[in-house]
Amino acid sequence: MKQKGIGIGCMWYGIGNTGLPNPASAFVEVHSDCSATVLTGCADIGQGSDTTMAQIVAETLGLNFENIFVTSADTGVTPESGATSASRQTYISGNACKKAAEMARDTLLEVASQLLNTEKDKINLESGQAIDTSTKNSVKITEIMAECKKQGILVIGSGSFNPETVPLDPETMEGSPYATYAFATHVAEVEVNTETGELEINRVIAAHDVGKAVNPKQVESQIEGGCVMGASFAALEELKVKDCKIQNPNYSDYLISTTKDVPEIYPLIVEDPEPTGPYGAKGVGEPALIPTAPAVLNGIYNATGLRLKELPITQEKIIEKKIEEGGN
Three-state DSSP class for residue 66:
helix
Which residue in the list 286, 310, 324, 325 is annotated as catalytic?
A: 286
Q: Measure the CA–CA gap between 44 and 55, rounded to whole angstroms.
A: 14
Give 179-200 as a DSSP string.
S-EEEEEEEEEEEEETTT--EE
Q: ω before 312 within 30° of 0 (cis)?
A: yes
How crowded is residue 2: how many other Cβ atoms within 10 Å of its Cβ? 12
Count of CA atoms in the C-beta half-sphere (13 A) of 157 = 24
What is the bridge-based pairing of β-strands 199-209 and 264-270?
Answer: parallel
Q: Measure the CA–CA gap between 215 and 213, rounded to whole angstroms.
A: 5
Q: Could you confirm whether 286 is annotated as catalytic?
A: yes
Residue 104 is inside which H or E element, if any? helix 89-116
Per the CB < 8 A criterion, the answer to whether 28 and 104 are in contact is yes
Per the CB < 8 A criterion, the answer to whether 79 and 100 are in contact is no
Instruction: Tell me the catalytic residues.
Output: 286
